[in-house]
Amino acid sequence: MLRVIVILVTAAIVVAIAWFLGALPGTVNAEIGPYSFEAAAPVVGLGLLVLFLVLYLIVRLIGELIFAPRRFRRWRLERRRMQGDAAVTHALLALGAGEADAARREAARSRRLLGDTPQTLVLAAEAGRIAGQEEEAAAAFRALAARPDAAFLGLRGLLRQAINRQDWTEAAALAREAERAHPGAAWLRGERRELAMRTGAWSEALALADADAPKAALAAAAADTEPDPARALQFAKQAWDEDPALVPAALAYARRLREAGRAGRALEVLRRTWASTPHPDLAALALEPLAAPLDRVQEAKRLAQENPDHPESQLLLARTSLDAGLTGEARRHAEIARDSGLDQRRVWTLLADIAEAEGDSEASRTAQRDALRQAAKAGPDPAWRCAACGTTLPAWRAACPNCGTPGQVAWGTHALARRPDQSLTIRPVLSD
């Protein structure tokens, strides 16, 4: 309806103009050189109108010819953009359907049509990744990382690849770079903490630790690996303040105090930790400066007084007494440990050593043989074990190298336990 109205109005205007021109009175005379021209006014007006229209059409034609290449280029770009958008959509659909080859093909087509934009690079990287073309994916991620507006996306992809191939050093470096590109990402802080523990960067792991992290274990490990004595002492003190019962924390703090010339304070730390969690390494460090066997016995007595009823105290007194030639005292303390219910190989081995030291008599040889037979069937000695996965370790670690769980390596033995709803399992049990 609107079109009909426009046509009628236009026709009315044309008729009005023609009526106006036809009603013009007079004539128009013109002389150009030897030529003269005379025509009625309506004819001249109509001629001028036709001339204007011809000139207008010529100018429009010239303009179209001049701007034709630009319009053609714009049309081609628009067409490429539409085709590229379609390729992006097809690539996304292929990725969602798990069709690796189709995803790679459409991602490559989108890059040809749209260029290396963040969207096309992400598609190319993900398509290469699900197709198992890790180097192809890495190249796309590196191209993303080189763009200021999409660096984080590229670094995150490279980080994921490094973690998958367990290249912890490269992963840690990429995580730090990603943090600089996009500060404050919560998941990235957790990744950096895990990678710091994987690479042994304990001071960084401690700095990134949250409220629930085992800070005492992290600080103890940081103290053991810190080359600067002052900072190492700070880390060790922090570890011991966080958990005075943690044996590695006490050992780290006592060592650093002794290195700083504060031997008395070091002994106080060892005795306080012995009062809650006796451990052979605490005694070894406390007795380390003493060479004379009797001096070692006296220091062992002072240490054992902090927890006199614990079997570990009795074993300490038994060992130091045996080294000093006090076989009677050694046997008395060893038998106290045995009678407390500590049925471990080290107890019976110690009793065998005591029997051997008591002399070459038939009674001594019989006692030694009996102790060795008991040692063969006794329970295992305590060791460092991960409470999360049960892995036995030769030394304490802040995080289990097998499962990566921090703060779960504890001193103890394995015990067999059967729950009503499960088959026979092994669980770590701390020693008494």
The C-alpha atoms of residue 72 and residue 79 are separated, in whole angstroms, by 10
State how far the alpha carbon of 367 is from the alpha carbons of 179, 310, 349, 351, in Å: 66, 25, 11, 8
Positive or negative torsion for Cα 400, 405, 406, 412 = negative
Span 52-93, pLDDT tens digits: 778 888 888 888 788 778 877 887 778 888 888 888 898 889
Q: How many domains does the structure of the chain reveal?
A: 2
Model-wide pTM > 0.75? no
Q: Is residue 325 part of a domain?
A: no
What's the average model confidence in pLDDT over 168-188? 86
Mean pLDDT of 31-53: 71
Q: What is the pLDDT of residue 18?
A: 64
Residue 410 lies in a domain: yes
CA distance 304 to 290: 16
Which residue from 254, 262, 298, 242 is spatially nearest to 279, judged by alpha carbons?
254
pLDDT computed for residue 16 by the predictor:
72
Residue 14: which pLDDT band, with cuts at 50, 70 and 90? low
In a domain, 217, yes or no: no
Q: Is 415's pLDDT higher than 50?
A: no
Between residues 3 and 417, which one has the greater pLDDT? 3
Query: Which neighbouring-strand residues pair with 39?
Result: 28
Pick the last residue of a domain from 59, 77, 95: 77
**Residue 206 banded pLDDT, cuts 50, 70, 90:** very high
Q: Give the pLDDT of residue 399.
A: 92
Does 154 fall in a domain?
A: no
The pLDDT assigned to 19 comes to 61
pLDDT digits (tens, 9 = 90+) for 305-328: 999 999 999 999 999 999 999 999
Domain interval for residue 421: 386-430
Q: What is the pLDDT of residues 417-429, one digit of tens each?
A: 333 333 323 233 3
Asked if residue 11 is part of any domain, the answer here is: yes
Quote the CA–CA distance of 103 and 109 in Å, as a whole number: 10
| pLDDT surpasses 90 at 3 | no
Q: Which region among 17-21, 92-96, 336-340 has the lowest average model confidence (pLDDT)? A: 17-21
Residue 29 maps to a domain: yes
Percentage of residues of the chain with pLDDT beyond 90: 46
User: Which residue has 């074990």 as its token pair?
Assistant: 385
Query: Which of 77, 112, 131 corresponds to the end of one domain?
Result: 77
Residue 424: per-residue pLDDT: 28
411, part of any domain: yes
Domain stop point among 77, 109, 126: 77
Q: List alpha helices for 146-279, DSSP H.
A: 151-164, 168-181, 186-198, 202-207, 215-225, 229-242, 247-259, 263-276
**In which residue are the tokens 């016995």 written?**
297
52: tokens are: 């204007």
Cα distances (angstroms) measured from residue 15 to each of 10, 19, 75, 89, 311: 9, 6, 40, 55, 122
Residue 299 lies in a domain: no
pLDDT band at 283 (very low <50, low <70, confident <90, very high): very high
Average pLDDT of the chain is 86
